Every structure is written in structure tokens, then in C-alpha cells.
Amino acid sequence: MPFTAFPSSPGPIGVFDSGFGGLTILHGIRQMLPEYDYVYLGDNARAPYGSRSFEVVYQFTRQAVLKLFSMGCHLVVLGCNTASAKALRTIQQRDLPEIDPSRRVLGIIRPTAEAIGSITKTRHVGILATEGTVRSRSYDLEIRKLFPDVTVTGQACPLWAAIVEANEADSPGADYFVQKRIGQLMRRDPQIDSIILGCTHYPLLMSSIVRHAPDGVRIVPQGEYVAASLKNYLDRHDAIRGMITQGGSCQYLTTESEERFNECARIFLRQKVEARHVTLG
């Protein structure tokens, strides 16, 4: 799709995720930057992305970015760790120069990595994330690039995202699995003093995570750091900021059932939303 097909007038900020977790990123951004218009796109029909190959995640993410560009977005945030890990760099370096060099696509891994340097004192950091994100080593590479003295240990947390989407975050079962994975992480490196929640679902398990994390270990959710980074980015880029409409509105799009999206979105946002179905590809 050539960039000439995209609207040239100002439009909303696009936020993309493979499913629902990016709603926690959207919430953090809207808390800090409520004046802008937003459109959230969840590729729920093809979620989860975590176990898919780099090439498939890239193709799916590229389709979503193009859809958001076609809806008038000049700036898209990949509110998805897997997409940020497996697709962001290729889209930024290979696709945007050909599609439209004036548009921007940002991820959520680097803002958290940038913040961790001032948070950890022991210089030992843990990552709780999906298997795909842990295996990609994206946090390890990004943190070590910025802070070579920091030791990073990743722990995959199977079932956590499914538990959240099933609205079981406060159940005894969820508590068991949270305790199990945090225990595994801390046994691998007892010097960890900061744990990054490297999946956007995990803030909904925060009460259980805090309960089972050792005293003195700081839990680092992504939403507030991504929002602060985006605010800083817009403060420094007048041209991009000028291409974002300011009406305080938010649209929700899904590639799956609108009813299913609305039901799950209430779990993440604690409010009613009305989604619209779209197709990608």
C-alpha cells in the first residue's frame, strides 16, 4: 500500500496489540496524555503472538500498522511486547522509509529498559514475560546496550495471560502460579532487586505479584514508563505532535468478535467500551 493512500490530515494516536494486554498501555498513556484522540486495534482473532515466528509476527504487525495509517494515524505505538520484540526494528528501518518517512512507529521495550538503570541498585534485574518475549532476549539486549553492568534474568510465565483474560486474576489458582514463577526467578538470581512485568497482562496480577515478591524488590509495570517516554517524545517532536488530533476520544477495533472484545476489555479497563470489527491483510 503506497503512502499516498494514507490520509495526510491530522489523526489519532494508534495503539496496537495482538490482544487485550495493550489496553493497560493505552490506559497509562491516556492517564498522562488525555487531550489526544486514540484508536486501539486488537488482533484478537490471531492472538496470542507469543509462540509465533519472527516472520509471522512481523507480517501481522505490519498489516496492523498499515490499517492504523489508513485510518489517519501518523504515530503508532506497538503496545505489545512480542510485536515490539519481533517486528518493530524491521518496520522502522525497512518499511517506514518506503511507506511514509514522516510517520512513526514506537515500541514499549526501550522505554522500560531506559528507566531500569535508575531503579535497580544491585544491578540485577528480573523479567517476567511470555515464553516468546523471554526467548527473544529483547529486554536483555536492550538493557545491556544501555547499561552493560546490569545482569538480566528472564522467567517465562505460562498461563498468566490466560488467567487474566479468564477474569481469574484474584483466584487461588492465579496466586499459586504467581508464587511459583516468582520463586523460580528469585532462585535463579537472589540478587534481583527489580522485576519488570514484560507482558501487558501482568499488571492485573499486581496484588498477587507484590504479595509474593521478596521484601525490597521493586515491581516495574510498563504503562507509566511508556506514557512518560511518549510524552517526552512528543515534547521533542513538534511535527509529529502537530499531526495528532486533540479531542480526548478513543475508538476500539478488533479482528474478532465485538462482543468478546467488549467483555474482556471491561476486565482490563474497568469500564464499558464499544468495539468495531475490522479485517487485516
C-alpha cell at 16: 496496537
Give the integer Cα–Cα distance in Å for 215 and 75.
40
Residue of 73, 157, 199, 250 marked active site: 199
Residue 219 region by backbone torsions, left for phi larger than 0, else alpha for psi between -120 and 50, else beta: beta
Give the integer Cα–Cα distance in Å for 270 and 190.
36
For the question of residue 250 being annotated catalytic, the response is no
DSSP for 47-93 reads: ---TTS-HHHHHHHHHHHHHHHHHTT-SEEEE--HHHHHHTHHHIII
Those residues whose C-beta lies under 8 Å from the C-beta of residue 82, and which sit 6 or more positions away, are 18, 48, 49, 50, 52, 57, 130, 132, 133, 136
Give the integer Cα–Cα distance in Å for 140 and 207.
26
Residue type, 66: L
Give the integer Cα–Cα distance in Å for 141 and 136.
9
C-alpha cell at 64: 496492523
For the question of residue 264 being annotated catalytic, the response is no
Cell 534474568 sits on residue: 153
Check if the beta carbon of residue 78 is closer than 8 Å to that of residue 108. Answer: yes
Peptide bond into 48 cis (omega under 30): yes
Residue of 73, 80, 157, 250 marked active site: 80
Cell 468478546 sits on residue: 260
Give the integer Cα–Cα distance in Å for 75 and 214.
39
Check if the beta carbon of residue 231 is closer than 8 Å to that of residue 32. Answer: yes
Residues forming the active site: 80, 199
